[in-house]
Every structure is written in C-alpha cells, then in structure tokens.
Amino acid sequence: MLSRKRTLFITLSLIIGISLAFFILATNFQKNIVGTEAVQSGTESGTGSPYPVLATPNPYSRLQAYPYPVATVAGENTLSVGIDLYRGGYYEEAMTVFEELIRKGVNLAEAYGGKGAVHIAWRNYEEALNSYTIALSYSRTSELLTGQCNAFRLLQRVNEAISSCNQAIELDVSNPEPYLVLAKLYLDKGDTENARLFASKVFNEMSSNRDQAAFILGLTALQEGKGEEAINNFTKAIELNPKEPVYYWERGFLALGLGKFDLARSDMRAILQVANPRLHGELMFRANAQLQFLNSNEESNP
C-alpha cells in the first residue's frame, strides 16, 4: 500500500502535469496580447499608445462608468469611447465605434489602429496587419508601427516585424513598446540573450511599462531554467503593477513546481481578488482549481 507521502507526490505530479498542459495552451493563447502581459494600470502604466500592444485589455479604465456600454454610449461614437470599450474587453462594441469613425472620415489613423488592436484580441492577425497598414497610410507614428510589428510577429514574419519595430524606435526612442515587442519576438524564437537585452533596456532606462519588462525578464529566465531568477522578476512585475493577474499566475504556478506552496497559494488567491471575470475567466478557473488542490493537501497534511 502506498504511503501518504508517496501518494501525495504522485497526486502532485499529476496536477503539475495537467497544469503544465494548461500553461502551454494559455501561453499560446496569450501570444496575441504578449503573454501574458500587463494591463495599462497601476503606477507603471501608460505610454503614448491608446492600444497597448503588449497588454491585456484594461478592466480598470474609465469604462467602469459605463456598466451597459452599448446603451449608454449610443450616439457617442468618439475615439475615446472606442478606446475605453476596447480596454474594457467590449471588442464588438469597440469595433462598431471604430468602423463608424471610418465611415464618417474622422480620426482615420486612430480608428484603423483601433481595428487592428481589436483584430489582435480576436486573433485575426492578417486583418490586424491590414488595419495597421492602412492606419500607417494616414499617419506614420511609432505606436502604429509597433502595432504593425506585433502583427508581423504573431504571423511569424520575423524580418518584417524587426523592420517595423526598428522604424518605430527611430521615430520615438522613448516609446517602450517596440522594445518590448522585440523582446517577445526573440523570446518566441528562443533567443533569450536578445530578449533580455531589449526587456532590460525598458526596465533599466524607461519610466513606463517597466512591469511588462520585468515580466518578460521573468519569462526569459524561466525559459533558461532559472526558476529563482524568474520568481524574482515576476515579483518585481507584481510590485510595479499589482493589478495584473497574469503576473500572479506565472509566479504562483512556478512556485508550485518549486515546492513553494505558501507563495503559490497566496498568488492563486490574489488572482481571484484582482481578476475581471469578463476578461480573465479561464485564468480564474485555473487559479481556483490550483487553490482547491493546495488547500485540500494542507488539510490532509496538517
């Protein structure tokens, strides 16, 4: 008959194996938003781009004033409304606003950029690339070039992505987002040296998006098998932006694998506290499952 310790070890191994499968699926899904990537909230938020290309939609935006967005903003199809809808995860409504602006010939570059951002969220990468390319025909900005770069990255058109991001940097060396997209691009390729180079530049030299840079540094360390370094970088990301649930998931999941059960439990609870069910429902489900497992083993092994 198996001992209690052996039974616990086997159970934990199965859970970690299943969770790893979920993690791989989640990582693939998160590539359209950087993985895992940060919302534009907290003390480290904000760049010149209204559609953060390495960010999940922001549940903490002014959209909280619009509990029923379609009815409330009817007839107010302004660019700011579209941006708020997008950041709140109301993609269909945001797309309606952007298309109406295009029909009226108003804010064309920004509206096409908004369509590109929505298509990224929907994983329609070819449509996103087309929208960003049209937007750039109206206004050649660092932010729109970064969006185009991200679309190229997601389509695995590496050379074109690098070219667009380099052009974005040339137009505005202070915009952190093209550096972060390049960091993700190299991380996708397994080139951790260049991934660390670009992410470190944002973390060490820029005032915004440092939480995203710390997070990418954590993913880089994780890819290199440096668990403790990854934990430390995820912790920095959380300290800079405690409202991003993905940061807690990555640190907590890694902590579980390293046997740091108290930290894993704390991070899973944090996800349930800060996540928005509309935007992070799957993540909340997985966090709750992990928390139940951790709590059940704590009760059976006092």
pLDDT tens readout for residues 197-221: 999 999 999 999 999 999 999 999 9
pLDDT confidence of 52, banded at 50, 70, 90? low
pLDDT confidence of 302, banded at 50, 70, 90? low
The predicted-structure confidence for 95-107, as pLDDT tens digits, reads as follows 999 999 999 999 9
Q: How far apart are CA 169 and CA 206, in angstroms?
A: 13
- The answer to pTM > 0.85 is no
pLDDT confidence of 279, banded at 50, 70, 90? confident
State percent of the chain over pLDDT 90: 65
Torsion from C-alpha of 42, 44, 50, 52, nearest 10 degrees: -100
Instruction: Output the pLDDT for position 239.
Output: 98
Instruction: Output the pLDDT for position 62.
Output: 27
- The domain covering 34-243 belongs, at the CATH homologous superfamily level, to Tetratricopeptide repeat domain (1.25.40.10)
The predicted-structure confidence for 248-277, as pLDDT tens digits, reads as follows 999 999 999 999 999 999 999 999 999 988
Six token digits for residue 105? 């010939």
Domain boundary assignment for the chain = 34-243
Lowest mean pLDDT among 2-11, 73-82, 173-182, 249-258: 2-11
Q: Evaluate if residue 14 carries a pLDDT over 50.
A: yes
Instruction: Output the pLDDT for position 15.
Output: 53
Phi, psi at 61, each rounded to 5°:
-80, -175
- 277 vs 45, higher pLDDT: 277
Contact 58, 41 (CB under 8 A): yes
Which of 21, 249, 224, 259 lies closest to 234, judged by CA?
249
Lowest mean pLDDT among 83-87, 123-127, 167-171, 235-239: 83-87
Lowest mean pLDDT among 67-76, 142-151, 157-166, 255-264: 67-76
Lowest mean pLDDT among 7-11, 25-29, 147-151, 202-206: 25-29
Instruction: Output the pLDDT for position 278.
Output: 77
Contacts of 142 (CB under 8 A, 6+ apart): 48, 168, 169, 171, 172, 175, 177, 178
